[in-house]
Structures are given as structure tokens and as C-alpha cells.
Amino acid sequence: MTQMTDYGHDLLFGTFVTPSAQGAGHVLDLAVTADRSGLDLVTFQDHPYQPTFLDTWTLLSYVAARTERVHLSGNVLSLPLRPPAVLARAAASLDRLSGGRVELGLGAGAFWDGIAAMGGRRLTPGQGVDALREAVTIIREIWDTETRGGVRLDGTYYQATGAKRGPAPAHDIPVWIGAYKKRMLALTGEIGDGWLPTIEYLPDGVDSLPGINARIDEAAVSAGRSPGDVRRLMNFMNVRFSPAGRGLLDGPVDQWVEQLAGLALEHGVTAYLIGGDDVATTERFAAEVAPAVRDVVARERGEA
């Protein structure tokens, strides 16, 4: 029997948009559509070595100026090409400028040939985990303006030798970590505010979730935290509204609702980010799916 896991977080609905340089106008339309339709999040993948993509941080800044309420995040930012102290200031600055609408998704790095070609450091998977740990420490220290003195960290991969703190962000920016392997999942449980994977990249899809949740939970408890301190988010790259159900988020609205509510109540996944880059799908997701999933989950939790 599958263990039921509901960490009780509020539900978030959003999009996972391809930052196409050639289709820049469409990218902006998708973000504005999400904002106007009442979705919670717009996120963009980050591959700075990919010449067909817009630079993600520039895109986030531009979209923040063209939207009013939707929150924004890289999904996930390529840490080897984004120095953590500078990234911390960039995130805090955009958070203040946007009225507290920036979240921070981080990845340890992938596509190392591309990273190295852009001048980034090539790391092994184990080194990437250690570097991410150091980076998150620096980022949070830069944001911590209540502590006196400069930020000091003599790390193996990143150093801070008295960097001045600030600015503080407008709200407590969560750090969501893109993780798949054992050490990264443990790091997520130890220090992350959220786990942000893509369902298509999990080895067994939804069936991977009990084992992964257990690993994150165990690491959280070992670090003196609660498993509920780590929000579980999920990207769905291949989605479609269709008359007949063919698979996960490929079918009629009722099927989407049942599947997403099940992910919340059985596996603790409470943020859903859809790909597809389609305006009509975005609007329908916001208008028909999101409210229905909220109703089902609230009822099952006894909140309705």
C-alpha cells in the first residue's frame, strides 16, 4: 500500500516556459497570460550556453516589469555560471523592485561541455553538491542584514572575504533545489526550502516519489528540520488537454484535476508547473484546473 504524504502546503499553479530567443514575443505573451489569468508562478529554464535561448535573468527582470502579481523564478538557475554573491544581490534587487515576487530555483549544473565552453568550472556530480551547499550559504548570508559584519566563507568552490550584506529581499525568498541523485536529494532535505524536479526526468515517474520523499524527509529530520519545511514542486513538460485520457496531464480537465489532487494528497506535491508553451492551455489550466484542484484538496484536508 502506498504511504500517503501530505505536507499541508498551499497549492501553487504555474508555467515552465521555454525562453526561446526567436520567439521572444510569444514568451512574453505566455508570461502575461499567466499573470492575467491568476496563476501563481512563471518559471524559465536556464541554459546560458544555449544560443537559441534568451538569458534567463534578463528575461525574469523584463517579465517582472510587464506583470503585476505573478511570482517568477529560474527553473533552475545554472549555478556554475552565476556567482552566488552576485546572484543573491540580483535576486534581492529584483524582489524589491517587483514587490516581493521573486523565488530562487538553483541547480548544481548540467551540460558541462556547454558550461566549460562559457568559462565555467567543470565539476563532478559530488563536487557540484558541495559547491551548491557553499553557494546557498553565501546567498543566505548576503540576504541576512540583521547580522553584523561581512560575509565570510572560505569554501573549496566559493569564497566570501568580508562581502557586505544586503540588500535584504522584500520577502523571505525560498531556495528551491533541482535534484535527482541521492546526495542532492539529501542536501535538499538538509538546507532547501523546496524540491524542484521535472516529472519526465524521474526514473519511474510518479512511482519514484515515495522513495525520493523518504530520502528528503530523512535528511530534513537529521538536520533538525521538519519534512514539511521542504515544499515539493514539479515540472510537467508534456501536457495536453484531450478528449480521452492518455497519460499524466494528457486528457480531459477532470483527469488533470484527479491526477494533481492525488499528487498533493498522496505524495505532497503542491506546486505544478506546466510546459507546452501554449496560451490556450495556460488559460484553461488557470480557469478550469486550478480552482477544481484547490477545492478537492481543501475538502480532503477538511478545510472546505
Average model confidence (pLDDT) for the chain? 97
Mean pLDDT of 86-110: 97
Reported as a single tens digit per residue, the pLDDT across 140-155 is 999 999 999 999 999 9
% pLDDT > 90, the chain: 97
The pLDDT of residue 67 is above 80:
yes
pTM equals 0.97
Question: Quick one: pLDDT at residue 303?
Answer: 84
Task: Determine the average pLDDT of the residues in 206-217.
Answer: 98
Instruction: Say what the pLDDT of residue 2 is.
Output: 46
CA atoms within 13 A on the CB side of 171: 13
